[in-house]
A and B are shown apart, each in its own frame.
Chain A
Amino acid sequence: MKRWFGSLCIMATIVLACLSTRAWAQDQSIVVASTTSTQDSGLFDYLLPIVKQKTGVEVKVLAQGTGQALDTARRGDADVVFVHAKSAEERFLTEGFGVKRYPVMYNDFVVIGPQDDPAGIKGKDVLTALQTIRTKAAPFVSRGDRSGTHIAELKLWKEAGVDIENDHGPWYKEIGQGMGAALNMASASNAYVLSDRGTWLAFHNRGDLAVLVEGDKRLFNQYGVMLVNPTKYPMVKKEAGQRFINWLISPDGQSVIAGYKINGQQLFYPNANDPNG
């Protein structure tokens, strides 16, 4: 009996030690706080082995919404942020948490909805489409999580002249979750939803959903990357982090990003050289 308990304790200590050493062994690893869109679209699954091979940096991705990713970085728990809400990123910089913002790539948002389009928004420009959804009180799923997509959605409502904060009813469902979860809900309840194209292309539970509004230049979706300020948080892995960023914006990295396709369709368009990115 004593022997049994003793060996149990030893086993537990060994397992714990093994798990810990594996964790501590990664000094060349960085934590990148990023969005659910970069994860759910499969971009990181494709990109990270290449990053490891070319730079030796092991990237651990935290897929959170842009808002949460920036907050994680504000606590110093990430080394790099890779998100898509320029206004939030610039505020992050002015608050002193980031070193410099580099544009990396862009894609676009699309308005998804049921194929038979009960609200009749297909082919319209995005502002008219949103106004129509509001007028007809068509079910609409919102990310509600301060993610890049959510921030873009709120901006579009504002431009469409809808005060969505105060002027919504049960048709507007704020779920506070990632893009995949939002698409799942839209699929299950035949609702409209704003999505980034990358996540949509990689999404497998489409049900009756289809792209209804696209191509509007207001649906432009820019991604940027920043190193978390090592002056604020000395534990930030600044060399490995900067190496990752430098590769992303290098011609090599940019062409690798462009090479990511699903069913022959490119998901992200590199634009590190764009001064307006």
Chain B
Amino acid sequence: MNDFAQALDTAASLIGHFDPELREIVVLSLGVSLTASFLAFAIGAPLGTALAVYRFRGKGALIVVANALLGLPPVVVGLAVYLMLSRSGPLGSLGILFTPTAMVIAQAVLCVPIVIALVHRVMVEVWASYGDALLVDGASRLGATWPLMCIGHEGLLTAFLAAFGRAIAELGAIIIVGGNVRGYTRTMTTAIALETSKGDLSFALALGIILVILSMTVSALSFFFGRVLTGR
């Protein structure tokens, strides 16, 4: 219990003093995770909607695959992205290994299945309620995609937040492709792992507390903006 008490104390003092290294780590964590979530959303939401709206052979198999990819092990994704971006790999000349860009890519890969699966689930319901009406009104299936996403926007927000939650808490992939380099690719989670390995357990816990607070803030802000943008 002593560690927890000390952790709360350390967390308060870190936040209060606006510790510059902490600031750097927080900004990087948010930057990488938000970018990855947006990317995953931009790719996954249309795909998930299309999966709900279109009828084609192999649709069932695709849905199964999308849901199965929810269990993709982050460390394996990290390894795969690392081998692609390695100097002895196919994309080595891009030189983006051990940079935040590589971390964004790895996290986006992990988050896309989440977005597809969740958006698909939401859109199946919306399509069931509104699909016929839209088609009767003259929309093609492609044209119906956008109105559908507007109607189901609350489900989309949940999908985005689920992706963000996965991204901000991620460690295995980004520690491999990012390298946890101080000042460049050290995020909250990799810093927590490092401090734990240095035996600074209460400090690691303090960082964890701050991470949770951060996550909750983003979630709250997203719901707030969601309300504002839809005029409620």
Contacts and interface: CB of A to CB of B under 8 A. Distances in A.
B31 A184 contact: no
A135 B35 CA distance: 56
Given A31-B98, A181-B197, A183-B199, A76 B34 contact: no
Interface stretch (A14-22, A103-111, A211-219, A244-252): A14-22
Contacts of A76: 86-88, 92
Contacts of B92: 76, 235
Interface string B181-205: 1101000000000101111110000
Interface stretch (B57-65, B68-76, B99-107): B99-107
A19 B182 CA distance: 15
Given A60-B179, A184-B197, A77 B87 contact: yes
A61 interface: yes
A19 B108 CA distance: 15
Interface in A74-116: 75-77
Interface string A163-187: 0000000000000011111011001
The secondary structure that dominates the A interface is helix
A192 to B, nearest CB: 17
A204 B95 contact: no
B87 A233 contact: yes
B35 A19 contact: yes
A177 to B, nearest CB: 8
A202 B195 CA distance: 11
Contacts of B99: 19-20, 23
Given A60-B179, A62-B181, A75 B88 contact: yes
Nearest to B153: A1
B96 interface: yes
Nearest to B93: A235
A57 B120 CA distance: 49
B200 A205 contact: yes
A262 interface: no
B229 interface: yes
Nearest to B103: A19
14 contacts: A1-B150, A4-B229, A16-B104, A22-B100, A23-B99, A23-B101, A36-B197, A39-B194, A40-B197, A60-B98, A76-B87, A178-B197, A181-B196, A181-B197
Interface of A: 1-2, 4, 8-9, 11-12, 15-16, 18-20, 22-24, 31, 36, 39-40, 44-45, 48, 60-63, 75-77, 177-181, 183-184, 187, 202-206, 233, 235
